[in-house]
């Protein structure tokens, strides 16, 4: 596969905090939002997913969420109002002047996409990956797990789920204080608002991924939902070539 160059840019979001985004390729834009503790680089670039889309003539726009990657990581609680990630991504779309685009996300990125759709975002196609129904309608459940990890770092048994989560945090050089603040920004999306999403939507999930409940239940709730199962669990599915293949088939097929 061709080695597509990337370019990282920054802009001031709605409250002046600096948000970074990385681009790859040229053509019709698709915005892809990474998951919690992750980055644009790890989620979309490292395993070749963005390059596959770029090879099919897409401009791939990949923000680093607030408190992640190259974006600002403030510790001030006032920098984390409810739905702040949704607002940052609306600000990015406005900054880039996007009107004809697709929108996708993995895990927290998928939840952010749903919040955007529930508040008026109008992409043509949508991808929700690594996210089940529980993680959309009852965000505090999964948030409690991450709160426990972030407030008890260094105390988990080797090989446990919490230990693996902490290990991932170290690989992405995450800021525990800023990431803890993000948990306060989660907003539930009612089932009826999810069911009102009118765009064709691919719901892509690892066969062993139930970290946020059932992804198939999300697809079944959507009027134009397509459920796509790929190998892996919540952490490993994002590393699989099948994720990039599914993105390409749905978005550029």
Burial of residue 156 (number of CB atoms within 10 Å: 0-12, 13-18, 19+): middle
What is the rounded distance in angstroms from the CA atom of residue 20 to the CA atom of residue 66?
Answer: 9
What is the rounded distance in angstroms from the CA atom of residue 250 to the CA atom of residue 219?
Answer: 14
Mean pLDDT of 100-112: 98
Give the pLDDT of residue 144: 85
Burial of residue 140 (number of CB atoms within 10 Å: 0-12, 13-18, 19+): exposed
pLDDT at residue 73 above 60?
yes
Residue 1 pLDDT level (bands cut at 50, 70, 90): very low
Percent of the chain exceeding pLDDT 90 equals 93
What is the rounded distance in angstroms from the CA atom of residue 171 to the CA atom of residue 39?
Answer: 11
Give the pLDDT of residue 3: 66
In the three-class reduction of DSSP (H, G, I as helix; E, B as strand; rest coil), residue 58 is classed as strand
pLDDT at residue 145 above 50?
yes
Mean pLDDT of 20-26: 97
Higher model confidence: residue 173 or residue 244?
244
pTM for this predicted structure: 0.96
Mean pLDDT of 196-210: 97
């Amino acid at each position: 596969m061709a080695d597509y160059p990337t370019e990282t840019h920054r802009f001031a979001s709605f409250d002046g905090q600096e948000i970074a985004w990385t681009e790859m390729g040229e053509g019709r834009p698709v915005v892809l939002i990474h998951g919690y503790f992750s980055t644009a680089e790890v989620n979309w670039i490292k395993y070749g997913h963005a390059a596959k889309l770029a090879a099919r003539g897409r401009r791939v726009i990949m923000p680093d969420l607030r408190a992640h990657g190259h974006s600002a990581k403030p510790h001030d609680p006032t920098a984390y109002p409810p739905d702040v990630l949704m607002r940052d991504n609306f600000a990015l779309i406005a900054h880039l002047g996007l009107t004809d685009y697709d929108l996708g996300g993995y895990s927290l990125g998928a939840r952010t996409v749903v919040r955007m759709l529930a508040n008026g975002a109008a992409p043509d196609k949508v991808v929700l990956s690594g996210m089940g129904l529980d993680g959309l309608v009852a965000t505090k459940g999964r948030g409690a797990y991450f709160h426990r990890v972030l407030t008890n770092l260094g105390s988990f048994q080797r090989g446990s789920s919490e230990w693996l989560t902490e290990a991932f945090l170290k690989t992405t050089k995450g800021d525990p204080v800023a990431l803890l603040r993000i948990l306060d920004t989660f907003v539930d999306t009612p089932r009826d608002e999810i069911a009102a999403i009118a765009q064709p939507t691919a719901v892509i999930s690892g066969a062993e991924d139930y970290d946020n409940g059932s992804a198939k239940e999300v697809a079944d709730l959507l009027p134009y939902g397509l459920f796509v199962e790929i190998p892996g669990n919540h952490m490993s599915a994002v590393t699989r070539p099948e994720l990039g293949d599914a993105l390409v088939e749905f978005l550029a097929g």
